[in-house]
Structure 1
Amino acid sequence: MGDFNLTVILEAIRRSSGGLSRVELAQFVGLSPQTISNISRRLLDQQLIVEAGKEGTGPGKPRTILRLNPSGMYAVGVHLDPAVMTFVILDLVGDVVLHSRMATPSGDPADVITSIADQIQVLIADSGVDASKIAGLGVAVPGPIDLDEGSVVEPPLLTRWNRVRIREALTEATGLETLVDKDVTSAAVAETWVGGASGAGSFVFMYMGTGIGCGIVLNDEVVRGTSGNAGEIGHIIVDPDGPPCDCGLRGCVKSSCIPQVLVAEAEAAGVLDGHGNDADGPEVQERYAMLCDKADAGDPKAIAILDKSATLVARAVSVVTNTLDVERVVFGGPFWGRMSRYFLDRVPAQIAANSAAGMIHGIDVVGSGVGEDVGAIGAACLVLEHTLAPRAQRLLLEG
């Protein structure tokens, strides 16, 4: 119970914009002043919080404000996208200490894992962070995943990766306790931890990467589903007359909206030089950027392709928002920066027009408050969440 109460107090301090006094903590969390005082002393001794001056406007003694200590704990995050691998080190308040990025190798998974481990060691060394204060490593991977195994299960755009136990492999290679979660879920976690206003309440995070997925947050709680695979929207039908999908249907998100499909459409329309359909993740990202460059330069065919993709994605988002009754849609991910102007011009009106609860409340459509590294930041936030956030499991007695 003491450990659970400690995380409750730490969470209250984390969620406050300017810190809280002990008196305010007692009011917010409902614990006795003595319990607050004892736990605050523990947190100060562990260097997880600091006393950050005194405040007081009325009668009585000024109150000492407690805030998180940024250097009290760190976490490493890795995002494995078929196109790009992103690495970050976060401090305790969720600020990025250092980050790096590299194209995802297309070789054997064991070699890729070695590259990831090597880059993590370089990042830690370059950051100057005390390695003993690193709480662990979080890894965001494309779904579906097997949480028990810590593996990815037939990821559509990562060939040769089926059932690779990446959690076990990276724990052994780095010596860090490792957590694995879906990239879309990790992105949603990042938004709740460091996204600011866009990460509060109930929202869906539309992850726009080599694939398209959906992270779900309801009443400030990330929804993972029975097996950790909530948010797989690849087989929502958005164009009944669209191209066939490997599921046997036509016009699914997977077969109509992902960048690989848009690049192929651009090649067929002569917007891009023909290149074939066997491009790997980094090449898809490069050619998708070329498509966006053409649209930015005014090419009508390129603009039409991006406009159509925005319309189709909006249809999928409308299905999700109507099902979950959320207040906000947050877009982000490694491809989002290039497509944002086209989507933000077109998607909000389409979602509003299709909203089942439109007469009751609106749905905001915004870009991520976290930035391009949202997947890796979310992966690091998984570690902070696991280590510091209040969880009911903390109340269970071992055995």
Structure 2
Amino acid sequence: MGDFNQSVILDAVRRSSEGLSRVELVELIGLSPQAVSNITRRLLSEELIVEAGKSGSGPGKPRTILRINPSGRYAVGVHLDPALMTVVLMDLMGVVLHRRVRDTPLGTEPGQIIDAIAGEVRALLAESSVDQTRIEGIGVAPPGPIDQPAGAVVDPPLLMGWHRVPLRDALAEATEMPVFVEKDVTAAAVAEIWGGGHGSTQSFVFVYIGTGIGSGIVVDGEVLRGTSGNAGEIGHIVTDPNGPECACGMRGCIAVTCDPQSLVREAERAGVLSTERHRSGDVADGLVRLCAAAEAGDRIACDIITTAAVRTARAVSVLANVLDVDRVVFGGPFWAPLANRYLEVVPSSLLDFRAARSIHPVEVVSTGIGDDVAAVGAACLMLERTLGPRAERLMLAR
């Protein structure tokens, strides 16, 4: 309970742009003045917060304002995409201090890619001047599915040969740092909680558009991970019963109708794009050119993007109906070129499919984090694991 209360106070101070006094913390959280005083004294001694001047112009003693110490802790975040590898160093306020991006090594040999990740982490830390004893560890966000308790990656569709790869343990051995593995879409949702900038909404779906499409789910401020850490898999929701056949045996799944690679292939078949692509990274270029053609008025390109937006809205409506959220956030490395058209089409289409449309609206927005949302979320993971007010902190160990 003490650890949970400490994390609640730390989170409250972090979320306040102006800082909070001890009196305000008592009123906000409901703990006794003595408990708040003891906890804040401990946070000050650990240099997680700092005293930042006085507040109050009326009668009575001015109140001391407490704010987060950004340099109190740091974390490294890694996003492993089949096309690109992004590594960031983040401080306690969610500010990215250093960033490195490189192509994911060609081929599918896990050891080669893990060595590349470790090399990028070492290079990132060498570029920084931070106190490395204050680094909580490395959060890694690979594509799913994952076995989270084991820290393993299990047969992701676009990383062939990655069968139960022990990514957590292998990277911890290579870097001699604590490592936590989380699915990329869940990491993106964690980033949105920490720094998305969309007000106080506590329940939302994060639709992640990368090489594939997935979703992160947040209810009442808590990320839903599921038994194995794979909650939010939407790739096999059927959006077009007459669509192409999926590897799962059904037809028209979101994985073969809405992901960027499917859109580029459809544009190639329709003659909107050439077929000269050589690796998964070229999907990004193809998607950009497809969206540019749509913006320029190419009717076929417009139809491809609009149809994909409606299909995506249909899939998202399934989650919105089940979870009764009031916000849908889009993001990921392939989101930017699609954003304009999707933000025109998805809100109205989502309204058509929602059961509770007459009761409350669902806002559809872009993430405030940017293209690196999964890497930032991966860094947030380490801070959330050690500092965040998670419900599991209240559970007694067996």
Paired residue total: 397
State the match for 2:324 in structure 1. Answer: 325
How far did residue 35 of structure 1 move? Answer: 2.0
- Check if 1:85 corresponds to 2:85: yes
Distance 1:8 1:346 in 2: 39
State the match for 1:75 in structure 2. Answer: 75
State the match for 2:9 in structure 1. Answer: 9
State the match for 2:355 in structure 1. Answer: 356
- Check if 1:307 corresponds to 2:337: no
Distance 1:30 1:348 in 2: 39
How far did residue 394 of structure 1 move? Answer: 3.9
Kept after mapping to 2: 8 A contact 1:330/1:365: yes
Q: Which amino acid aligns with 2:208?
A: Y
Kept after mapping to 1: 8 A contact 2:153/2:165: yes
Kept after mapping to 2: 8 A contact 1:198/1:369: no
For residues 282-306 of structure 1, give each alpha carbon's deviation from its aligned partner in whole angstroms, at most 9, with x where no partner exists: 1222222222232233322222211
State the match for 1:137 in structure 2. Answer: 138
Distance 1:296 1:121 in 2: 42
| Alpha carbons of structure 1 residues 6 and 198: separation in structure 2 relative to 1, 3 Å | closer
Unaligned runs of 5+ in 2: none
For residues 304-349 of structure 1, give each alpha carbon's deviation from its aligned partner in whole angstroms, at most 9, with x where no partner exists: 2111111111111111111111101000000001110110111111
- Check if 1:215 corresponds to 2:216: yes
Distance 2:173 2:38 in 1: 37
State the match for 2:56 in structure 1. Answer: 56
| Alpha carbons of structure 1 residues 321 and 391: separation in structure 2 relative to 1, 3 Å | closer
State the match for 1:248 in structure 2. Answer: 249
TM-score by length of 2: 0.96
Moved more, 380-389 or 265-274: 265-274
| Helix, strand or coil at the partner of 1:207 | strand
Kept after mapping to 2: 8 A contact 1:104/1:282: no
Kept after mapping to 1: 8 A contact 2:204/2:327: yes
Q: Which amino acid aligns with 2:82?
A: P
State the match for 1:262 in structure 2. Answer: 263
TM-score by length of 1: 0.96
Distance 1:331 1:306 in 2: 15
Distance 2:124 2:157 in 1: 29
| Helix, strand or coil at the partner of 1:138 | strand
Distance 2:392 2:301 in 1: 51
- Check if 1:169 corresponds to 2:170: yes
State the match for 2:386 in structure 1. Answer: 387
Moved more, 152-161 or 71-80: 152-161
For residues 189-233 of structure 1, give each alpha carbon's deviation from its aligned partner in whole angstroms, at most 9, with x where no partner exists: 000001122673111000011100011011111111122111000
How far did residue 40 of structure 1 move? Answer: 1.2
State the match for 2:225 in structure 1. Answer: 224
Q: Which amino acid aligns with 1:327?
A: D
Give the 5 Å matches for 1:195-214.
Answer: 195-197=196-198, 200-214=201-215
Kept after mapping to 2: 8 A contact 1:192/1:199: no
Unaligned runs of 5+ in 1: none
Q: Which amino acid aligns with 2:295?
A: D
State the match for 1:157 in structure 2. Answer: 158
State the match for 2:45 in structure 1. Answer: 45
State the match for 2:292 in structure 1. Answer: 293
Moved more, 246-255 or 102-111: 102-111
How far did residue 106 of structure 1 move? Answer: 2.4
Kept after mapping to 2: 8 A contact 1:139/1:379: yes
Kept after mapping to 2: 8 A contact 1:83/1:285: no
Distance 1:31 1:21 in 2: 14
Q: Which amino acid aligns with 1:371?
A: G
Moved more, 32-41 or 85-94: 32-41
CA RMSD, 1 decimal: 1.6
Kept after mapping to 2: 8 A contact 1:198/1:366: no
For residues 148-194 of structure 1, give each alpha carbon's deviation from its aligned partner in whole angstroms, at most 9, with x where no partner exists: 22111110111111211111111011111000011111000000001
How far did residue 393 of structure 1 move? Answer: 4.5
Structure 1 segments of 4+ aligned residues over 6 angstroms from their partners: none
Kept after mapping to 2: 8 A contact 1:201/1:217: yes
Kept after mapping to 1: 8 A contact 2:188/2:377: yes
Distance 2:397 2:312 in 1: 46
| Helix, strand or coil at the partner of 1:242 | coil
Distance 1:202 1:314 in 2: 18
Kept after mapping to 2: 8 A contact 1:141/1:180: yes
| Alpha carbons of structure 1 residues 208 and 23: separation in structure 2 relative to 1, 3 Å | same
Moved more, 79-88 or 298-307: 298-307
How far did residue 52 of structure 1 move? Answer: 1.0
For residues 336-364 of structure 1, give each alpha carbon's deviation from its aligned partner in whole angstroms, at most 9, with x where no partner exists: 01110110111111111222111110010
| Helix, strand or coil at the partner of 2:206 | strand
Q: Which amino acid aligns with 1:251?
A: G
| Helix, strand or coil at the partner of 1:35 | helix
